[in-house]
Amino acid sequence: MTADDRGVHLLAYTERLGGDLAGVRALLREGPLAVFTGVHLLPFFVPFDGDDAGFDPVDHATVDPRLGTWDDVRALAADGAHVTADLIVNHVSADSAEFRDWLTRGAESPADGMFLTYDAVFPDGAGEAEITAFYRPRLGLPFTPYQRADGTRRLVWTTFMPTQVDLDVHHPAARAYLRRTLRTLADGGVSTVRLDAVGYAVKTPGTDSFMTARTLAFVEEITALARAEGLQVLVEVHAHHTQQAAIAPLVDLVYDFALPPLLLHGLATGEVARLAHWLTIRPRNAITVLDTHDGIGVIDAGPSGDRPGLLSTEEMAAVFAEAERRTAGRSALASTTPAWAAMPHQINATFFSVLGEDPVAYLLARAVQLFVPGRPQLYYVGLLAGTDDMDRFARTGQGREVNRHAYDAAELAAALAGEVTRAQLGLVALRTRHPAFGGTFAAREAGPGRLVLGWDDGAGASAVLTVDLAPDAPAFAIEVAGGPEGAARYGSVVDLAALADGGAAAR
């Protein structure tokens, strides 16, 4: 495990946490979040507040001036923060200069061929079965009609929203665009790029076009382009756990999206065997999360076709039902079922809300996340113990907005002073500075509902987490030795908050 892997990263929308890039830098450099070693800045490009909260870039190469400039991003990196940013691979905004130029000039545009049209995938047409075979994480079909200046009408692929037009990632114009964007990110101080929505980027007739062999081949190609610019590559794919295992060797990092639903299942049932099994087979080059800006993935632990899941379909449904119960129905209102699916693929709620705002259960889950191998990443709403923002959901109509609260200065100060936030910062400090996490990891079941996760550096430093997943009576205990605190035990939220109050380690 590298020193960077021992550290913990933050995931945040710039404007919703610190107001702008300078505000985020202040929090990470000298403020209460200085214990974090890296930050994933969710899209800060022009515009950061588009139809899909920045994931529909009009200009992927320019920092939105309302947030700052590339100099601000480079300043974060100069402070020692490992900066991650998104390469939005699958699409751009319909308001982008390239798409507008193509609509205006057609075949005379340098962007001609850059965007994926219906006939590029189906040159001989397609029947109902071929069209509906495509997997789409939204309702409806993945095409939007656009009319060009000469009056011709084209069906453009729009996998996510009508204003997010898909790239033909194999066309030279699209490849040149992606290369330019990668170079800009590298020059701007970014160290890791997350390939957003790459699982949908290659359309292959006769398949569902999600994470196919051709997708994996493209992942290898775009990874090579990124590495040529000195960038690490993180892939974001919500898919069957075997697909994560298949893509993990091709890139630097993948997400462990199976961990959150397995924790929710365990906390609801007291059963730990599934979680223990997952810890023996999961990719080690993983970003560990509880929640993200996209909600809490559940499909990642379930079955796919004839492939059994870590959880059965019935157990997945039970996770959704328990979330609905603990959120008083809010998660069911905000979560969307994709086309052709039987249930949502993610829970739209904050992780704190899904656990009924139980601090002990929440810190237990966070402790497990920070103890398993990989690079831990805390989402800003989760760090701040945020609860479902139903007002934001009502205003926008977007279910994911329940977990995307925008904190003003007073709210942020109050949240940072909260016991649950301070306890999480205590865990972050422990993971970042304790030498045991540079050693070897082991996990074992220790009786019904009990799981033990331990690290040992072989030189006297150890850190052991014991969790009891008894429904409605969860408990955890952390015992450390050989680190800055010597021998110590932390068995409550208060204990962990006191650890944070003792001072964060310097980066």
Write the pLDDT tens digit of every residue in 182-233.
999 999 999 999 999 999 999 999 899 988 999 999 999 999 999 999 999 9
Q: Which residues pair with 429 in a beta bridge?
A: none
250: helix, strand or coil:
helix
For residue 248, give the DSSP letter.
Answer: G
Residue 1: the pLDDT is: 36
Whether a cis peptide bond, with omega within 30° of 0, leads into 47 is: yes
Q: What is the pLDDT of residue 6?
A: 67
The angle at the Cα of 339, spanning 337 to 340, to the nearest 5 degrees, equals 105
SS3 state at 104: helix
Bridge partners of residue 490, in order along the sequence: 478
Distance of CA 288 to the CA centre of its chain: 9
Report in angstroms the alpha-carbon separations of 97 from 60, 101, 152. 11, 6, 19
236 as an active site residue: the answer is: yes
Catalytic option among 15, 52, 168, 236: 236
- Is 196 in the active site? yes
What's the whole-model pTM score?
0.95
Burial class (CB in 10 A: 0-12, 13-18, 19+), 18: buried
In CATH, the number for domain 97-166 is 3.90.400.10
Contact by Cβ (8 Å): 476, 491: yes
List the domain boundaries for the chain. Answer: 97-166, 437-501
**Residue 498 corresponds to which tokens in the numbers above?**
């006191």
Average pLDDT, the chain: 94
Give per-residue pLDDT as tens, 157-176.
999 999 999 999 999 999 99
What would the pLDDT profile of 97-106 be if each residue is shown by its tens digit? 999 999 999 9
- Asked if pLDDT for residue 4 goes beyond 70, the answer is no
Catalytic annotation, pick one of 168, 196, 256, 456: 196
Q: What is the CA radius of gyration of the chain?
A: 23
